[in-house]
Amino acid sequence: MSPGTSSNGTAGTTSGAPGTSGAATGEAAGTASTAGPGARGLSVRGLAVTYGGRTATGAVSGLDLDVAPGEVVALLGPSGCGKSSLLRAVAGLEDLAAGEVRWDGEDVVGLPVHRRGFGLMFQDGQLFEHRDVAGNVAYGLRRLPRGQRAQRVEEMLALVGLSGLGRRRVATLSGGQAQRVALARSLAPSPRLLLLDEPLSSLDRALRDQLAADLRSILRAQGTTALYVTHDQDEAMTVADRVGVMGSGRLLRLDTPERLWAHPGSDEVARFLGFGPFLAAGAGGGSCLALAPGALRAQESGETLRVSPGTGSGQVGAGESAATGKAGEQTGAPGLRTQPPVRLVGATLGSRVRRGRWEVEVLLGPGQVVTLGADRFVTTGRERVAVVARAASQPGEPVIALLDLTRTALLPRYAGGGEPAS
Ligand SMILES: Nc1ncnc2c1ncn2[C@@H]1O[C@H](COP(=O)(O)OP(=O)(O)OP(=O)(O)O)[C@@H](O)[C@H]1O
C-alpha cells in the first residue's frame, strides 16, 4: 500500500498548505451545538454505515453530529458501538449507506479521502520506516518550497516536544515518541479537520495520561478542529471540549465533560461512565438516582463502604465486618438534588423525609436495615450538611457514611440491567 492513497490512516491523506487551514481558531463550543447543515465546521446528518451487503448489519444508524471550528469532540462507547465506522465514514474510508457529511456546508461525500482536507491519526501511527523523523513530518508538505518545508517540520517537532530529533530513524523511537511524530505529521499540513482513532491506546497508562494532556494543549494551540475516538474515558475528558457517548450505532449523549457527568440522561450512558448502583427515586415515577464512583464514603477512618459500580446493589461494610445490602428507598433524593450541593453525613443507600425530618436507611445485610435520623443541618462553606446521628448498634455497628449528592445524577427512567435497587 502506498502512503496517502489507502486506508493506512496517515497524515499523507491531508491536503492544504500550512497556515491555510479551513479550521478557524475561535473558542470551542462548550455546550450542545445547534449547528446545522449550513453551519461552519463538520456537520453529519443521518449518517448510516452498514457492512455485509444484503445481510447488512448497521454499524452506525442515523447519526447526527456537529463539530464547530476549533472544537475537539471525543466519542466514547463500548467496543463495537460504531465509533471507528463513524470516523472512517467521515474520513471517506467507508461508504455511507445513508446520510450527509458536510464541511462548512459543502457536501464532501463525493470527495475522495485525499481531497477532503482532513488529517488522520490512528492507534499505530504507521510511520514510514524508510524515512527519518523529519521525512515523516514533511510527508504532507511536498507542495511547499524546501526552505518553508524545513521550517514547518521544525515548528511541528517543537510543538510535539521532539526538537532536534529530525534525523532520527523512526525504528529507534519509543512508542510515545512515535505517536508524537505521527501527530506532528498529521498536523503539519494544517488539516481543516483532524480525525484521531484511538491514537494513544498502544501506550501505557502513565504515558497515555501525559500525552493526552499534551494533545489537548497542542490541539488548542493550533486551533485544530478534531474528532477523537477512544474507549478511554479519562483520555476523552482530558482532550475534548465535548464528549459523546455512543451505543449500538447511535449517539446517545453529547455534552461537555462536566455536564455529561452531571446529567448522563439515561442509565445506559451513566452505566458506561461508571455510575452505580442505581437507586429508585421517587414513588412510582420510574426515575432513579445514579451514584457516581466515590459518591459514598465512610465518615470516619477505619470504616469502609464499598459499592460495586453498575451492579444495582451495594456492598456495605463497617470496619472488617463487610456485609451485602440492597439499596433502600430513595424518596427524598429528587428534592434534595434540586438544592444547592447537599451532603448527607452518615447517609447510606436510602433516605426520606418523615414528619419533616430526614431519615437515612443503612442496610447492613439482607433484612438488616438501620434508620438514621437527621438531627440537624449545619452549613459548612457553601454546603448544607445534614448531620445524622449514629443509630443504635443493632444488629451490629451501623455504617456511618457520606452520600455526596454532588456525585449523583437523577435519571428520568431506568431502562436496563434489571430493576434499580429499591
Ligand atoms: N469491515 C467490517 N466488516 C464487517 N463488519 C464490520 C467491519 N468493521 C466493523 N464492523 C462491525 O461494525 C460494528 C462497529 O464496529 P466499529 O469498529 O465501528 O466499532 P468501535 O466502536 O470502533 O469498536 P472498537 O472500540 O472495538 O474499535 C461492529 O459490530 C463490527 O463488528
Per-residue pLDDT, 391: 37
Residue type, 206: A
Per-residue pLDDT, 130: 93
Q: Which of 7, 50, 51 to mutate to test the pocket of ligand 1 (most atoms within 8 A of CB)?
A: 51
**Chosen domain end from 220, 241, 262:** 262
ipTM for the whole complex: 0.98
Highest mean pLDDT of the ranges 144-148, 340-344, 375-379: 144-148
H-run or E-run covering 354: strand 350-354
CA nearest ligand 1 atom 11, residue: 59
Nearest Cα to Cα of residue 83 among 219, 272, 292, 274 = 272
**In this prediction, what percent of the chain has a pLDDT beyond 90?**
49
Residue type, 176: G
Bigger pLDDT: 363 vs 144: 144
| 236 part of a folded domain | yes
Inform me whether the pLDDT recorded for 362 exceeds 80. Answer: no
Average pLDDT over residues 35-60: 82
- 5 Cα–ligand 1 center, Å: 22
Q: How confident is the model at residue 292 (pLDDT cuts 50, 70, 90)?
A: confident
Is the distance from the beta carbon of residue 79 to the nearest atom of ligand 1 less than 6 Å? yes
Q: Give the tens place of pLDDT for each residue, 197-254.
A: 999 988 888 888 998 999 999 999 999 999 999 999 999 999 999 999 999 999 999 9
Is the distance from the beta carbon of residue 82 to the nearest atom of ligand 1 less than 6 Å? yes
Same domain flag for 352 and 298: yes
Inform me whether the pLDDT recorded for 95 exceeds 50. Answer: yes
Per-residue pLDDT, 324: 21
Inform me whether the pLDDT recorded for 315 exceeds 90. Answer: no
Cell numbers for 412:
428520568
Average pLDDT over residues 376-390: 44
Among the residue ranges 80-89, 114-123, 316-325, 346-355, the one predicted with the least confidence is: 316-325
Average pLDDT over residues 333-347: 33
Same domain flag for 129 and 196: yes
| 267 part of a folded domain | no
| 2 part of a folded domain | no
Per-residue pLDDT, 413: 72
Nearest Cα to Cα of residue 333 among 351, 348, 307, 313 = 351
| 190 part of a folded domain | yes
**Chosen domain end from 262, 287, 316:** 262
How far is the CA of 229 from the CAs of 82, 87, 213, 244, in angstroms? 10, 8, 16, 9
Q: What is the DSSP letter of 27?
A: P
Per-residue pLDDT, 420: 46
Is the distance from the beta carbon of residue 84 to the nearest atom of ligand 1 less than 6 Å? yes
Same domain flag for 181 and 112: yes
Same domain flag for 322 and 244: no
Per-residue pLDDT, 73: 98
Residues 6+ apart with CB under 8 A from 24: 40, 69, 70, 223
Cell 493526552 sits on residue: 212
What is the domain count for the chain? 2
How far is the CA of 24 from the CAs of 48, 186, 224, 236, in angstroms? 28, 17, 8, 22
Q: Which of 75, 83, 124, 272 to mutate to test the pocket of ligand 1 (most atoms within 8 A of CB)?
A: 83
Same domain flag for 35 and 94: yes
* 193-197 and 118-122 beta bridge pairing: parallel
Inform me whether the pLDDT recorded for 72 exceeds 50. Answer: yes
Task: Answer for the pair 96, 109: CB distance below 8 angstroms, yes or no.
Answer: yes
Q: Which of 60, 76, 84 to mutate to test the pocket of ligand 1 (most atoms within 8 A of CB)?
A: 84
Q: Which of 47, 63, 85 to mutate to test the pocket of ligand 1 (most atoms within 8 A of CB)?
A: 85
Same domain flag for 38 and 94: yes
| 419 part of a folded domain | no
Per-residue pLDDT, 124: 79
**Chosen domain end from 233, 262, 291:** 262
Average pLDDT over residues 283-312: 49
Same domain flag for 34 and 147: yes
Among the residue ranges 214-228, 279-293, 344-358, 402-416, the one predicted with the least confidence is: 344-358
Per-residue pLDDT, 275: 85
Per-residue pLDDT, 39: 77
* Buried residues in 136-164 as b, exposed as e (16+ CB within 10 A): bbbbbbeebeeeebeebbeebbebbebee
Is the distance from the beta carbon of residue 377 to the nearest atom of ligand 1 less than 6 Å? no
Same domain flag for 166 and 59: yes
HSE (side-chain half, CA atoms, 13 Å) at 253: 22
Per-residue pLDDT, 123: 84
Residue span of the structural domain in which 390 resides? 274-411
Is the distance from the beta carbon of residue 55 to the nearest atom of ligand 1 less than 6 Å? no
Please classify residue 185 by burial: count the beta carbons closer than 10 Å to its beta carbon, then call 0-12 exposed, 13-18 middle and 19+ buried: buried
- 82 Cα–ligand 1 center, Å: 6
Same domain flag for 26 and 146: yes
Task: Answer for the pair 44, 65: CB distance below 8 angstroms, yes or no.
Answer: yes
Q: How high is the mean pLDDT of the chain?
A: 72
Average pLDDT over residues 85-114: 96
How far is the CA of 54 from the CAs of 51, 248, 360, in angstroms? 9, 20, 57
Bigger pLDDT: 151 vs 295: 151
Inform me whether the pLDDT recorded for 109 exceeds 50. Answer: yes
| 5 part of a folded domain | no
**In this prediction, what percent of the chain has a pLDDT beyond 70?**
59
Average pLDDT over residues 407-417: 71
Same domain flag for 299 and 182: no
Same domain flag for 344 and 404: yes
**Cα–chain-centroid distance for residue 314?**
25
Bigger pLDDT: 374 vs 158: 158
| 279 part of a folded domain | yes
Same domain flag for 91 and 240: yes
